[in-house]
Amino acid sequence: MTAMSTPFVFFSGKGGVGKTSMACTTAVRYADEGRRTLIVTTDPASNLADVFEQPIGHKVTAIEGVPNLWAMEIDADRATEEYKDRALAPLRAAFPPQIVQVMEEQMNGPCTAEVAAFDRFTDFLESPGAGESAYDVVIFDTAPTGHTLRLLELPAEWSRSIQEAETGSGQTCIGPAAAIQDAKQKYERALAALRDTTRTTFVFVLHPEATAIKETQRATVELGKLDIHTHQIIVNGIIPPEESVNPFYSARMKMQANYLAQIERELPLPTQRMFLLDREIKGVTGLREVGQMLFDGQRNVSPVQSIAAPTGLFGAAPASVGVLGRVLPNSHSRTLFFAGKGGVGKTVASCLTAVWLARQGHKTLLLTTDPAAHLGDVLGVPVGDEVAPVAGVPNLWATKIDPKAAADVYKARILEDARQRGRPPEALQTMAEELDSPCTEEMAAFDRFIAYASQDEWQAIVFDTAPTGHTLRLLELPMDWSQQLDVKVFSTVDSVAADDIAKQRFGKVIAMMRDPERSTFAFVMYPESTPIAEAKRAIDELATLDISLGLVVANQVVPPDACTTPFARSRRTMQEKYLAEMSALFPAPMLQIPLLPHEVKGLDVLVALGEQVYGDHQTVDILQTPTEAATS
C-alpha cells in the first residue's frame, strides 16, 4: 500500500497499540522521500524522544540523521498554563480571588488540557508552506479525542455557546467566552481542515484483539458524527509466522487469525499490517527497517537478536505477602482503584481481582466508568447500569456507570436545587449550558461512585478506571460543585445545609482514599517505556493530594516457560529490563499478570488466572494479620 498523500496525517487508536511507532516510521519514510515533514505529539507521556533517541521537547527540533524531518513534543502542562493565563488574565482584576480560584480550578480539567493542546497544534493546521506549517506533511501522533472535537464542533453551536455564556457568566468550561472568541476563526479553519479529505488522513492503529476492534469501531463512529472519517488502518502487533514452532505463540496466532478476519469484514478500509518485533522500535535505522516492512512488505530486514536465556529474576510465582496486604480487606473494607494508560489492561486486572476476592469470601462490588465498558466482555456475562450479582461467582456484584446517563441525573439534580433557591429562568438556562461539558460527565460519574463508596455493605470495592487528580482537586474546593456553578454564574456564594452534607460526604471518601489501610491505588502498565512514564506522571500528581501508590501491576509478562525460541527470549529479556526499572522507580509491591496463549475472557479464565497471580486459599492463609501484611 502506498503512503498517505494529504498534507496532514493523524494517528489515532486506543493506548498501547503502537501509534507513536507507526507515526514515527511514517515520518521517516516521508522525509526520506524528500518531503519536508514535521511530527507533532500532544501525548503527556510522549516518547518521541525515546523513539528518535535524542532530546526534542516543547520546540520544533531537527531529527539527526534524517534530513527534512523535524519533531515537537507539545508539553501539555506548559500549553495549559499558557492557555489559562491568556484566558484568566482579564478576570483577575475584575473578580475577588475566591471567584477566580473556582474558575481556575474548573479550568484544571481534562477539557482545558485537551483544548490547550488542540489550540497549540492548530497552529500547524494552516495551509502548508505558510507560517508554522512550512512543511509538506504534518503528522500528528495522538489525535484529539471525540469530546475535544465536540466542544468545538460546529460554527453554529460554537457561536451559540459563546453568545449564551456572554449573556450569563461570561464563562465556559474551557475559559471565558471573550478569550475563546478570539480563537474562534482559527478553530473553525482547523476543523475545516480535519474534515477535508484532500487535506487530512485519519489512520487508526489497532491490535488484532476484541477490545481494540470494538474501540476502533466506536471511535470511528464518533468521529463520523463530526464528519471526520477514518481513511486507513494499521493492524499492529501481529505475531510473525515463523513463531508457529513455539506452542505458546502458535496458540496466540490462531486467536489473532480470527480477529484479522473480523477486521477485514467489519473495518473494510485500506489496511497495512505490521508484525510484532522481538525488540523495541527505536532509532532512525530501526525506523527505516520498520518502514520497509510496513510500506514495502519486506520481512526479516535484520535477523532476530541472539539473546541469552532470561535471567529469571522476575519469575511467575504467586503474589507476595506485600501484594496481598494491599488487596485483601482487613479490619476495614478495602477499595481498590486500578489506574493506568489506556490499553494496558486495567479492566482485566480489575475483573480478575474482583473475582478472586469474591471467591475468598469477601462481598465485592466491581464497577467501571469507562465509556467503552469492557467489564461485560471480560467477565463474559452482561453488566448493566444497576448493581446486580454476577452469575457463577457468589459474593460478586457488578455495575457500569454510564457517564452520560449519570451526567443527565446529576444536571437535573443541580438545576432542581437552583429552582428551589428561586433562580430566574434565564439564570437556569445559563447554568444548564455550563453543565453541558464533558467535565460534568467526569464529576457526575465520580459522584455516583461516591454514593457506592459511602455504603457499608461492601467488604471490597474494585474500581476500574481511577479518578484523576483533576476530579479530586475539584472535590477539595471549599464548596460543593453546585455552589461552584453559582460562583461562575452569579458571582455569589451561598452556604446551605444540603451542600454542607454533600461536602462532608466527599470529604469522608477522600479521607478513605488517603488511608492505605482502607484503599489501594494500583497502577497497571506493560513493562515498556511509555506506560511506565505515564504511570509515573499520574502517581506524582496523586502524591500532591496525599494519595500514595499502593500497588504496581505489570501486565502481559511473557512467561519464562514460553521462551523456547530466540524471538520469545528476546521479548522476555526486553521486558525484564523494564520490570527492573519498575521495581527501582515505584516504591510499592509488584504484581505480575502473565501473557496468556489465549484471551482473558470468561469466568473460568479469570478464576484460573486469579489463582495463578494471587494464589489459592492456602496462600492466603499465610497472612497472619492484616497489619503485618500491609507493612511487609
- Domains of the chain, by residue range, sit at 8-203+277-296, 321-403+460-476+519-631
Contacts with 627 (C-beta within 8 Å, 6 or more apart), sequence order: 330
**Helical H segments across 328-402, by residue range:** 346-359, 375-379
State yes or no: pLDDT of 318 exceeds 90: no
Q: Taking a C-beta distance cutoff of 8 angstroms, is the pair 399, 437 a contact?
A: no
Indicate the pairing of strand 396-400 with strand 388-389.
Answer: antiparallel
Residue 131 phi, psi (nearest 5): 55, -135
Q: What pLDDT does 619 receive?
A: 45
Q: What pLDDT does 413 receive?
A: 81
* CA atoms of 147 and 447, how far apart (whole Å): 20
* CA atoms of 523 and 549, how far apart (whole Å): 8
Q: Taking a C-beta distance cutoff of 8 angstroms, is the pair 339, 346 a contact?
A: yes
The third-level CATH classification (topology) of the domain covering 8-203+277-296 is Rossmann fold (3.40.50)
Look-up of cell digits 484471551: 599
Lowest mean pLDDT among 101-105, 282-286, 307-311, 359-363: 307-311
The third-level CATH classification (topology) of the domain covering 321-403+460-476+519-631 is Rossmann fold (3.40.50)
Per residue in 129-140, pLDDT (tens digit) is 444 458 999 998
Q: Among residues 245, 238, 240, which one has the least CA distance to residue 300?
A: 240
Q: Which run of H or of E encompasses 284?
A: helix 284-296
What are the angstrom distances between the C-alpha of 603 and each of 69, 382, 465, 606? 49, 12, 21, 5
CATH fold match for the domains 8-203+277-296 and 321-403+460-476+519-631:
yes
* CA atoms of 363 and 62, how far apart (whole Å): 57
Per residue in 321-340, pLDDT (tens digit) is 889 999 999 778 899 999 88
Would you state the cell numbers that stand for residue 244, as one nine-digit string? 508457529
* CA atoms of 555 and 549, how far apart (whole Å): 17
Contacts with 370 (C-beta within 8 Å, 6 or more apart), sequence order: 346, 347, 400, 464, 465
* CA atoms of 337 and 349, how far apart (whole Å): 10
Query: From the CB of residue 308, how many other CB atoms can be counted at a distance below 10 Å?
Result: 8
What are the angstrom distances between the C-alpha of 611 and each of 272, 449, 526, 604, 620? 39, 28, 21, 11, 10
Lowest mean pLDDT among 263-267, 297-301, 523-527, 548-552: 297-301
* CA atoms of 164 and 626, how far apart (whole Å): 56
**Helical H segments across 491-565, by residue range:** 497-514, 529-543
Lowest mean pLDDT among 208-212, 236-240, 243-247: 208-212
Would you state the cell numbers that stand for residue 46, as one nine-digit string? 510522549
Residues in the chain: 632
Specify which of 112-126, 406-420, 571-585 reaches the highest per-range mean pLDDT: 571-585
